[in-house]
Amino acid sequence: MCSVLEYLSLDDSSQEKWTFYYFLLSWGAELGNGMIQTITGPMQPYLAYNLDTNTSTINLVWTLGFIGFLIGSVLTSSIFTKHLYTGKRKLILMFFILLMTGLSTLAIPFADNLPFLLFVRFLQFLGYGIFLTGDSIMIVFTLGPEKSRPFINALHFFISIGFLLGTFIVQPFIPEVRDKVCRSNTGTLANQTLEAQTPILPEDFTNSSDSVDAIKLSDVVAEDPNLNVIDTVMGLQSIAWPFIISAAWCMLVSFGFLFLAFSGLQMPQYYDENTNTKHKPESRQKLKGVRRNMFLGLIILFFALSGAVIRVFQSMSTTFALCGPLELDAHRAALTDSFYSCGMCLGRLASIALATRFLPSTLLCGSTVFCLTASILLLALAPHFYISLYLGEAVMGFFVSWQFGTGFSWTSYHMNITGFLSSIFFIGLGIGSLSSPPLAGYLFTINPMSVLYLVTAMVFVQAITVLSLRIISRQDKKPEHTCQEIEKL
């Protein structure tokens, strides 16, 4: 606590306590938000199996989810500082939203049809979008654009801890039904194993216009009474328990915001109600006119590509390892998410320290170069060696993890982002996140390797985007300053 408060240099003891408790709650809540996202990826093939649908269709949970995320982010950026002008109101909103996120997560494994599953997923990510946007605004609003840099990265570090914990939570509850689930999710394995695992069909049926891939799994293997059964734990399907655990965490943490709202502690405030600085402005380079608009357009594209890459791995890692060229068993396939999330966790931990020593533009350039290298290595080696898949995803996760927090800080250096402008990050992130999983799922049903080609292409475009952003922002006369340089002025 002392090191955090010494860095913040807050004079008022009430503000110090508020800041300390807020960060504890914020990090706990974002850990929960990370868990609810990552558990969906490994459990996705089994949700599809329960609903008798395929990979490209079940990936719509990401599309509907991030439509909700976009709506929540835009709404929050419009009202959070303009209408919720007291700390109490902001905290009460965050309590209700996190509680709603937990309840919607709880409903996901019990959805008995696809429309209801998509609806609760929409509500889940509506809450996630509102909370993440509000949390990010709150940090910059209370600390300012310079001091908030490591704390923005810390926020995303705890999301990545949630990613990692989620992969461990799902491991004990994963059913060992690889062939059955893969045949339900895609026609790729169906063609390879159909002769060994399905009854001989009448000739007139096989010559009909209906393809074998379109046959319902329950019809093809009706003779096997255990095929449609996923193990139960305490009377519930095993795949429901990761959702129950993460939902309970979110609901528990939500009440902390309610208690803090009525604690009587004072919230620190860097900006006034009209988002004008109350303190001496920190050294910043403001972009104006055409260059400002170009920067905003490119940063939206950058975040769209970043979100797209992250969601492809979150939605398809287990499916690729399970049903792709490696054909790993269920538990080894789920480890791909563990390696990826571990890489993200370590990367965001490293970025907290790096954010105080390097410029955001420098960190972002380094991130894209290493991501491009990792994507090429995955393309070359991952189809042949499972160790290469594990390590490649860990490296990709490590370097892609810097991108959101660093891009957020880079933009806050050039313009005030505590008002409506804060939504640009989440609009870009949401657009990429809602579009890439269905596209990746569709390409996977054609050829599993298409997923890795898609990732490589997106990272290549992202690298060009970052280069363009750097050229635009470097045209200013004054150089950017690190936190240490600012303190010496």
Separation CA 9–CA 2 (nearest Å): 10
In this structure, what token pair is assigned to residue 99?
A: 């509680």
In a domain, 457, yes or no: yes
Q: How many residues does the chain have?
A: 489
pLDDT of residue 321: 87
**What is the average per-residue pLDDT within 11-21?**
80
In a domain, 197, yes or no: no
- Give residues with Cβ within 8 angstroms of 346, minimum separation 6: 398
**What is the average per-residue pLDDT within 375-382?**
90
In a domain, 186, yes or no: no
Cβ atoms within 10 Å, residue 255: 13
Q: Is the pLDDT of residue 404 over 90?
A: no
Q: What share of the chain is helix, strand, coil (3-state, %, to 5)?
A: 75, 0, 25
Write down the H helix ranges in 144-214: 149-170, 178-185, 187-197, 203-206
Q: Is the pLDDT of residue 334 over 70?
A: yes
pLDDT of residue 417: 63
In a domain, 216, yes or no: no
Q: Give the DSSP letter of residue 283.
A: P
Q: Is the pLDDT of residue 197 over 70?
A: no
Q: Is the pLDDT of residue 120 over 80?
A: yes
Q: Is the pLDDT of residue 53 over 50?
A: yes
Domain range for 91 is: 2-179+234-488
Q: Write phi, then psi, for 441 (nearest 5 degrees).
A: -65, -40
**What is the average per-residue pLDDT within 239-245?**
92
Q: Give the DSSP letter of residue 235.
A: T
Whether the CB-CB separation of 14 and 265 falls below 8 Å is answered with yes
The CATH number of residue 430's host domain is: 1.20.1250.20
Q: Is the pLDDT of residue 193 over 60?
A: no
In a domain, 221, yes or no: no
Range in 398-402, 443-447, 474-478 with the lowest mean pLDDT: 474-478
Instruction: Please return the burial class of 463, using the count of CB atoms within 10 Å of its CB with bins 0-12, 13-18 and 19+.
Output: middle
Separation CA 91–CA 270 (nearest Å): 17
Whether the CB-CB separation of 61 and 117 falls below 8 Å is answered with yes
Whether the CB-CB separation of 450 and 443 falls below 8 Å is answered with yes
Q: Give the DSSP letter of residue 233.
A: E
- Strand residues in 92-234 grouped as ranges (E): 232-233
Q: Is the pLDDT of residue 133 over 60?
A: yes
Hey, which residues does 277 pair with through a beta bridge? 271
Separation CA 451–CA 386 (nearest Å): 16
Range in 104-113, 140-149, 180-189, 281-290 with the lowest mean pLDDT: 180-189
In a domain, 201, yes or no: no
In a domain, 229, yes or no: no
Please, what is the Cα angle at 32 between 174 and 38, to 5 degrees?
A: 40
In this structure, what token pair is assigned to residue 244?
A: 């129950």
- Give residues with Cβ within 8 angstroms of 487, minimum separation 6: none
pLDDT tens figures, 223-238: 444 444 577 888 888 8
pLDDT tens figures, 413-425: 777 665 566 667 7
Separation CA 189–CA 123 (nearest Å): 34
How many structural domains compose the chain? Answer: 1
Lookup result for tokens 């804060």: 422
Q: Is 81 helix (H, G, I), strand (E, B) or coil?
A: coil
Split at pLDDT 50, 70, 90, the class of 26 is: very high
- Round the average pLDDT of the chain to a whole number and report it: 77
In a domain, 335, yes or no: yes
pLDDT of residue 218: 41
